[in-house]
Amino acid sequence: MNLLTRESLIGLEKYAEIRHQFRQRVMEHKRDRRLALGTNAALYFEDRVTMQYQVQEMLRIERIFEADAIQEELDTYNPLIPDGSNWKATFMIEFPEVEERQAMLKRLVGIEEMVWMQIADLPKIRPVADEDLERSDEHKTSAVHFLRFELTPEQVTQFKNGAELAAGIDHDNYQVELRPVADNIRVSLQTDLD
């Protein structure tokens, strides 16, 4: 796993100079890492590039330049970088209208555990959700969850050898199946398994 270090970050002054170009490159990169699951949910697959952008922006916004504070940011975001046997994603429930979103978050309790990925005809991969803190209770779920999809060696091998990727959600109040996942996303996710 290629974790971020203080040495891999760009200093605030230099980052201010290159921020526009860096942001543009990251936004292009993210296009191949967003997987829409129906019209109101999406997986945003994280990696070293997306996490460096997140850390750089946090340092910029908060004007963080002290070593301990920088390390705190690294300790927060490094766990979201895949380590070669998994995919890590931010799962977003996206209802644009506030009232509808609040109502649906009550109806979608547990949805974060009902998301799945599938390689070829191997068993569905269910995520480990919200390892950092609890984001749901029995009354409602959060609009944002952090998911880790842990793959077996067989799944990794088949995926790297070109097996089809599918994804979906099996919640009683939100069901979707996407088969196959677009090639641009599939290719991008292969890099997470190196």
Strand partners, 128: 148
Instruction: Tell me the C-alpha to C-alpha distance, in Å, between residue 173 and each of 8, 99, 134, 170.
Output: 43, 17, 21, 8
Mean pLDDT in residue range 78-84: 95
Closest CA to 105 of 115, 94, 113: 94
CB contact at 8 A, 38 and 94 = no
CB contact at 8 A, 104 and 95 = yes
Q: How far apart (Å, rounded) are the C-alpha atoms in residues 101 and 113?
A: 19
Q: Give the chain's domains with CATH numbers.
A: 1-31+48-81 (no CATH), 32-45+82-194 (2.60.40)
CB contact at 8 A, 78 and 180 = no
User: Which pLDDT tens digit goes with each residue over 135-187?
Assistant: 778 899 999 999 999 999 999 999 999 999 999 999 999 999 999 999 999 99
CB contact at 8 A, 151 and 86 = yes
Q: Kindly tell me if the per-residue pLDDT of 191 is higher than 90.
A: yes
Tell me, yes or no, if the pTM score tops 0.85: yes
